[in-house]
Structure 1
Amino acid sequence: MPASLPRPKPLASIFIVLALTVAILWAMNRPPICTCGTIALWGRVGPTQSQMLADWYSPSHIAHGLLFYAAFRWLRPKSSIELRFLVSLVIEASWEIVENTPMVIDRYREATIALGYSGDSILNSASDVAMMALGFMAAWRLPVWASILFLLMLELVPLLVIRDNLTLNVIMLVAPSDAILNWQAGA
């Protein structure tokens, strides 16, 4: 009988994935912190958006974790929770890297309300990966109804406050809508 592979350790996984993500973003010349020179818990809509530890898009990364947990529980129910967590971390970290390429930054600028978007700071990208991990762990521990309620809250609050959320972000990146763009701009 072949020896089974060792199960990845969640805490070690997150540190390794974060370290690799930070190293890649550093090599891409992403700023480690806000170019304004400050570090804050919360970045408001505007120039510090996506530069601080958290911002109005942090809920969308928590939502990623909830959705990854649900998807992998459905697609790979026999895989260990540790493996599903590791794969989710790698997907999220990969998105953070792709999201900070000139092509995607330009796409955000041309197709969404993020006109002055310049990409994320490394601090914000690392926080986004951690937010996904938080969402994944919450989904693992919460009953399904609570995860669904939590996901709805994570979508509705930013929608009401900044007229944006994960759903609108995906729509605007994939199939931009002038009607959505005008509504987001308050027109």
Structure 2
Amino acid sequence: MGRPLTYRGGLIELWGPAGAKQSQMLLDWYSASHVVHGFLFYGLLHLAAKRWKPGQRLFAATIVEAAWEIVENSPVIIDRYREATIALGYRGDTVLNSVSDIAMMIAGFLLAARIPVWASVMIVLVLELVPLAIIRDNLTLNVWMLLSPNDTVLAWQARA
């Protein structure tokens, strides 16, 4: 789809803050949402695919996450982000960031497999509330604004 491998000129940094480097570097504020994906996929597959081996569940979750990375970086979704969310200058992810997003989902999945449910719930809450407090965005708002944009939420986010 023509996504660049890295940020302009091959620059690779650990953290891509909001702005031009958002979704261009290894990690960014939205990396937390991909960890949450891992927790959610673990929970859903634990319930829906009880007979599958853990490795099969992880493989299925990774396929879904990789498919989302392809869809998320398609022109239609990039345009949707620009028109319905605060991501006015969003250009899509670099390949580096997409691979990192998949790795973050895998990390969340593996962590969810090893800790108690209450700890998973607490981690998901923190991973949703910290970005909400700092950048006024998280997985929940991201999905909400993509599916059913709300002018009040958009105005609140724009005040960040």
TM-score normalised per structure 1: 0.84
Identity %: 57
1:82 Cα deviation (Å)?
0.7
Describe how 1:30-69 pairs up with structure 2 within 5 A.
30-35=3-8, 37-69=10-42
Deviation at 1:128, TM superposition (A): 0.1
Quote the Cα distance in structure 1 between the aligned partners of 2:121 and 2:86. 27
Q: Secondary structure at the match of 1:124?
A: helix
Larger radius of gyration between Structure 1 and Structure 2: 1
**2 CA distance for matches of 1:106 and 1:167?**
19
* Code of the aligned partner of 2:151: D
Task: Select the residue among 62, 81, 86 that pairs with 1:108.
Answer: 81
Q: TM-score, normalised by structure 2?
A: 0.98
Q: Which residue number corresponds to residue 175 of structure 1?
A: 148
Moved over 2 A (4+): none
CA distance in 2, matches of 1:78, 1:97: 29
Aligned residue in 1 for 2:103: 130
Residue 108 and residue 36 in structure 1: after superposition, are their counterparts in 2 closer, same or farther (change >3 A)? farther
Cα distance in 2 between the residues matched to 1:163 and 1:36:
30
Partner of 1:75: 48
For 1:163, the equivalent position in structure 2 comes to 136
Hey, what does 1:154 align to over in structure 2?
A: 127
Q: Which amino acid aligns with 2:23?
A: S
> Aligned partners of 1:34, 1:97: CA distance in 2, in Å?
18
Write the deviation string for residues 16-55 of structure 1: whole angstroms up to 9, x where unpaired: xxxxxxxxxxxx1100001254110000000000000000
| Partner SS state of residue 154, structure 1 | helix
Quote the RMSD (CA, aligned, Å): 0.9
Structure 2 residue runs of 5 or longer lacking an equivalent are none
